[in-house]
Amino acid sequence: MGLLRLFLPRELHLVFKAITKMEEGLRELIAEKPNEEFRGVYVESGLSATRKNILAPGSIGVYSGGSNYNPAQVIRDASVKAYTEKIDEKLAIISDKSYAEISIADMEILISWTRNDETQSEHVWNPVAVAASINQLSKIKEHATGYVYVDRDRELDANRRETAGILSGGEFSAVPDDKIALYMLRTKAGGHKAASWWPQVRFPNGQYAFAFAV
């Protein structure tokens, strides 16, 4: 290994890092169930686990039970203004640093209105795959609702790892962990940057995982 050197374009490097991180999460989940209690990986309806012209062999992402995911960065220019206003209206009844129970359908809508910055992506956060995973989890667990946590005017600026989270420990644990949780943080506008909503999803603990094409 000391003599091995691997040269990759940035795009492939990010993909391989993302695959490795998600595979580690799946291995940890399986290791927690040594008696083969965990055996299955759900492949999302409408999403392929792989594709014919695959970028790299094994380029399959996994969202595993008990893990959380978020975009590395969100778009903060004028193009997000309309979506920000839609989310503002949708979450207006929820005060800062608090959470409420909402329908799975509303949770999927909120995710679809967020705008992650693809130029900074690590290819872990995929809004289509996240929403589809939430939908399938609701069917498996027979949950019609989940939790949404809201906070506004956050001084969020720097990129985040897409599996590391963007919240403090206290905020993260403030929401019950028996259902899917969506944390919605509204970044503070300033200078040339517009306000934008930065999402983070926490999947509840359980013997499951969802696979999708990276």
Question: Residues near 128 by Cβ (< 8 Å), separated by ≥ 6?
Answer: 47
What pLDDT is recorded for position 49?
A: 47
Among the listed residues 210, 66, 57, the one whose alpha carbon sits nearest the alpha carbon of residue 139: 210
What pLDDT is recorded for position 54?
A: 44
Please check whether residue 70 is in contact with residue 160, taking contact to mean a CB–CB distance below 8 angstroms. yes
Categorise residue 56: left if φ over 0, alpha if ψ from -120 to 50, beta otherwise: beta
What pLDDT is recorded for position 44?
A: 52
Write down the domain spans for the chain.
10-213
Question: Is residue 103 within a helix (H) or strand (E), and if so which, with residue range?
Answer: strand 98-103
- pTM comes to 0.77
Question: From CA 9, how far away is CA 94, in angstroms rounded?
Answer: 43
**Structure tokens given for 154:** 């956050």
pLDDT, one tens digit per residue, over 182-205 is 999 999 998 889 999 999 999 998
What is the mean pLDDT of each successive set of 10 residues along the chain, which is 214 residues long?
Answer: 82 74 74 64 50 49 86 95 97 96 96 94 88 89 94 92 82 91 95 94 86 70
Task: Name the residue type at position 54.
Answer: I
